[in-house]
Amino acid sequence: MIHIRHNVSYQIKMASIPLSNPMAIDARSKKSQQKLYQALRHYYGRNIDFNKITVKASCEQANVSRATFYRHHQDLRDILTVQFIIVISELEARVDQLTFLDFETGSQELVNIIDANFDLIRLMNWSQSRPRIEPVISGAALRILILRDYPEPNRTFVATFLGATILQFAQQVVQAPEPLSKAAILKLYRKLIPDL
């Protein structure tokens, strides 16, 4: 796996408790990750069945050695898991910049991230990677609940529920028969996702 230094930190209601420092991935690993992610986007764009793609072919498409691939990933789905971790880190960094975090500002930032990452969500669906990615989203939700002093007896259940719900919401937005504007996505999010 890619080596990540991840320090928990967030700003919640004017308190300076950062959720995270930006992920520290060395430049070569980050470059390799982006190349591998672009290779998967290439195959998706050509409507190639995910299960027919090999590590060898992906590495060739990305111009990354197989040794480098296996140094950081177990299989092709790991590319998408790492990409979600990067996106979550970006969201955490954006939240850290807020002077006030509540449901309104938090939902706006989350919708911005969903809107900016439609391709990643599509690739998750195409590769059937949701079982690996859902715990990553739930883990981020759990960190927020801990920082907000959410009652411990239900915290893990609520974080798991939120992770699954947010991911399902993002999948539905991406699969909508008619494209939704960012304002429409935000309005739906605020109606459908609970404010804890």
21-63 pLDDT, tens digit each: 444 566 678 899 999 999 999 999 999 999 999 999 999 999 9
For 153-171, letters b (16+ CB in 10 Å) and e give eebeebbbebbbbbbebbe
Task: Report yes or no: 3 and 28 within 8 Å, Cβ to Cβ.
Answer: no
Which band of pLDDT confidence, cut at 50, 70 and 90, is reported for residue 196? Answer: confident
Residue 4 has pLDDT above 50, yes or no: no
| DSSP one-letter string for 91-144 | HHHHHHT-S--SHHHHHHHHHHHHHHTHHHHHHHHHHT-HHHHHHHHHHHHHHH
Q: For residue 19, what pLDDT is reported?
A: 53
Fold of 22-192: Tetracycline Repressor; domain 2 (1.10.357)
139-167 pLDDT, tens digit each: 999 988 888 788 888 999 999 999 999 99
Q: For residue 12, what pLDDT is reported?
A: 33
Q: Which two tokens stand for residue 28?
A: 């070569």
Q: Which two tokens stand for residue 106?
A: 């938090």
Number of CB atoms found within 10 A of residue 50's CB: 17
Q: What is the pTM of this model?
A: 0.84
Which band of pLDDT confidence, cut at 50, 70 and 90, is reported for residue 101? Answer: confident
Q: Which two tokens stand for residue 85?
A: 């971790």
d(CA 168, CA 19): 23
Tell which residue, 60, 55, 62, has the closest CA to residue 36. Answer: 62
